[in-house]
């Protein structure tokens, strides 16, 4: 099983409508392809982890990289893993500018990743959340 983590920048402000469109399409495609993961949005940046069958993860990443709504797509890691870190989440999500009242992005992301065993993966998401929570 392959796990790929990337960061990218949205060409336009990340609105609820844009996120809904991305998540709706992602969840449908990922469920069909057996890909799971987590998407966190902060400011105009996305941090996403994808995992599943290697061909499906690479095809998903190629589709994302070619999407004109994104630019500066940078792969942070790509490695074989024995177990899914994100279970059966077709695409879990948290937006930096759309956090439940009383929560901040950092604590919400920490809740989402509380079950992750991989310390490097946890650090990527908590670091992203800390940076973008301060910028919000």
Six-digit token string for 76: 């942070």
What are the tens digits of pLDDT across the range 10-40? 999 988 898 888 888 888 888 899 999 888 8
Phi, psi of 2 (to 5 degrees): -105, 140
Number of domains making up the chain: 1
Identify the band that residue 135 occupies on the pLDDT scale cut at 50, 70 and 90: low
CATH of the domain at 63: 3.30.70.100
Q: What does the pLDDT read at residue 15?
A: 87
Q: Residue 75 belongs to what domain range? A: 2-135
Q: What is the pLDDT of residues 68-118, one digit of tens each?
A: 998 999 999 999 999 888 776 655 554 444 433 335 777 878 888 888 888
pLDDT confidence of residue 98: 42
Q: Taking the CB of residue 37, how many other CB atoms lie within 10 A of it?
A: 24
Is-above-0.95 flag for pTM? no
Q: How many CA atoms lie within 13 A of 63 on its CB side?
A: 13
**Helix and strand counts by DSSP (H, E) for the chain:** 4, 5
Whether the CA torsion 106, 109, 110, 111 is positive or negative: it is positive
């Amino acid at each position: 099983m392959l796990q790929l983590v990337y960061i990218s920048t949205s060409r336009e402000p990340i609105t609820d409508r844009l996120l809904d469109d991305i998540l709706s399409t992602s969840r449908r495609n990922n469920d069909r392809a057996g890909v799971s993961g987590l998407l966190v949005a902060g400011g105009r940046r996305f941090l996403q982890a994808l995992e599943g069958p290697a061909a499906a993860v690479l095809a998903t990443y190629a589709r994302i990289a070619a999407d004109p709504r994104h630019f500066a797509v940078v792969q942070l890691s790509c490695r074989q893993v024995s177990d899914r870190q994100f279970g059966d989440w077709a695409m879990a999500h948290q937006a930096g500018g759309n956090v439940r009242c009383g929560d901040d992005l950092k604590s919400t992301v920490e809740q989402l990743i509380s079950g992750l065993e991989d310390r490097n993966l946890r650090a990527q998401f908590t670091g992203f959340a800390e940076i973008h929570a301060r910028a919000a």
